[in-house]
C-alpha cells in the first residue's frame, strides 16, 4: 500500500533564507508556495521526492506549535510523509498495527503564485507509537508540478556522469590494485592508449584537477582522440566537454573526452 516516500518536511525560522539556500543547492526553483493554517510552505519537487520547507506564520494554535518545536529542537527535519494508493486501506492497516492513526482528512493547497490547487487525503500515526518520528501518509489526487532547473549542472556533477565507473578508483599502470575493479582494457593496458599515469594522484570527479594533472604528450593525445573518433560517433558528454574547453581556454579536455564515450557505460 505504501508506494514510496512522498516528501520530507524541514522546519525553519526564516522561510525566505531557507528557500534561497535550497534553490542554490538544487539549482531548481520552488515548485509550490503556500501560506495558511499558521505556516508558510515552500516545496521543491524533484524526480523522485519532494522537500517541504515550513515556517510559522501569524498567530494561532498551529503557528504556536511550530514555534514550540523550533524552540525545543531547532531547525531541521520535522516529519516524513509516505505516499499510498489507497488511504482507506492504509488507515485500516495502521489501526491494526496499533499506530493509532488520526481520522482521514481531506486537504487542499493553493499555490500563492499561480493560483493552482492540489488536493489529497491524509492521515497521521501517533508520535508516541513511532519512536518520536512524525509519520504522515497521503493519497494525492494528482501529481505535483516539478521544480524547474534554474542553472546548468556544475563541472564536478558533469564529470561524475562522464566517469561513473572510474570515480571510486585511482588510476595507475596495469596490474595495480587501483584498477583491479575496472573492466576497461585501455585502463588495464594504458600504454596502448597513451600514458594516464599522471592522473594517479587525482581524485575524479574533480574534472578541472584531472585536466590540470594530465601531462601526457600532445602526440599521444592526438592519436587517442583520432582513434576514439573513428571508433564510434561522438557522444553528448564529449561534446559538452569540448564546449567547456572552448569557454575556458587553457584547460585540457581532449585527453579526457577522447575516453569519455569509449569507456563510459552511459554511451554504448
Q: pTM here? A: 0.58
Distances (CA, A) of 158 to 75, 187, 211: 32, 21, 14
Predicted pLDDT at 147? 96
On whether the CB atoms of residues 80 and 135 are closer than 8 A, the answer is: yes
Predicted pLDDT at 243? 75
CA–CA separation, 139 and 120 (whole Å): 5
Predicted pLDDT at 141? 94
Low-confidence ranges of the chain (pLDDT < 50): 155-213, 215, 253-268
pLDDT tens for each residue of 206-247: 444 444 445 455 555 555 555 555 555 556 666 776 777 777
Residue 174: strand, helix, or coil: coil
Q: Which long-range contacts (CB under 8 A, 24 or more apart) does 235-243 make?
A: 235/260, 235/261, 235/264, 235/266, 235/267, 236/267, 237/158, 237/161, 237/162, 237/261, 237/264, 237/266, 237/267, 240/158, 241/162
Predicted pLDDT at 128? 95
Predicted pLDDT at 221? 55
Residue 215: strand, helix, or coil: coil
Alpha helix segments (H runs only) across the chain: 15-26, 61-73, 87-96, 155-162, 185-188, 207-213, 218-231, 236-247, 254-263
Number of H helices, E strands in the chain: 9, 8
For the chain, give every domain's residue range: 2-140, 155-263
Predicted pLDDT at 235? 61
**What is the residue-averaged pLDDT of the chain?**
74
Computed on alpha carbons and rounded to an integer, the radius of gyration of the chain in Å comes to: 26
Q: Does domain 2-140 have CATH number 3.40.228.10?
A: no
Amino acid at each position: 500500500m505504501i508506494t514510496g516516500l512522498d516528501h520530507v518536511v524541514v522546519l525553519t525560522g526564516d522561510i525566505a533564507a531557507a528557500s534561497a539556500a535550497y534553490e542554490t543547492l538544487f539549482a531548481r526553483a520552488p515548485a509550490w508556495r503556500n501560506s495558511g493554517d499558521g505556516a508558510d510552505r515552500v516545496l521543491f519537487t524533484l524526480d523522485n521526492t519532494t522537500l517541504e520547507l515550513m515556517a510559522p506564520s501569524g498567530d494561532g494554535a498551529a503557528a504556536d506549535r511550530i514555534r514550540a518545536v523550533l524552540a525545543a529542537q531547532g531547525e531541521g527535519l520535522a516529519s516524513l510523509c509516505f505516499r499510498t494508493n489507497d488511504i482507506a486501506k492504509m488507515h485500516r492497516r495502521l489501526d491494526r498495527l496499533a499506530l493509532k492513526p488520526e481520522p482521514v482528512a481531506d486537504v487542499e493547497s493553493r499555490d500563492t503564485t499561480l493560483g493552482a490547487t492540489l488536493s489529497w487525503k491524509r492521515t497521521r500515526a501517533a508520535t508516541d507509537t513511532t519512536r518520536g518520528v512524525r509519520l504522515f501518509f497521503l493519497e494525492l489526487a494528482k501529481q505535483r508540478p516539478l521544480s524547474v532547473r534554474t542553472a546548468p549542472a556544475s563541472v564536478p556533477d558533469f564529470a561524475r556522469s562522464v566517469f561513473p565507473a572510474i570515480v571510486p578508483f585511482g588510476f595507475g599502470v596495469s596490474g595495480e590494485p587501483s584498477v583491479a575493479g575496472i573492466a576497461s582494457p585501455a585502463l588495464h593496458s594504458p600504454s596502448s592508449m597513451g600514458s594516464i599515469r599522471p592522473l594517479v594522484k587525482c581524485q575524479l570527479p574533480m574534472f578541472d584537477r584531472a585536466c590540470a594533472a594530465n601531462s601526457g604528450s600532445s602526440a599521444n593525445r592526438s592519436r587517442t582522440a583520432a582513434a576514439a573518433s573513428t571508433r564510434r560517433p561522438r557522444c553528448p558528454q564529449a561534446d559538452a566537454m569540448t564546449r567547456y574547453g572552448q569557454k575556458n581556454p587553457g584547460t585540457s579536455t581532449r585527453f579526457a573526452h577522447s575516453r569519455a564515450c569509449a569507456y563510459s557505460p552511459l554511451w554504448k
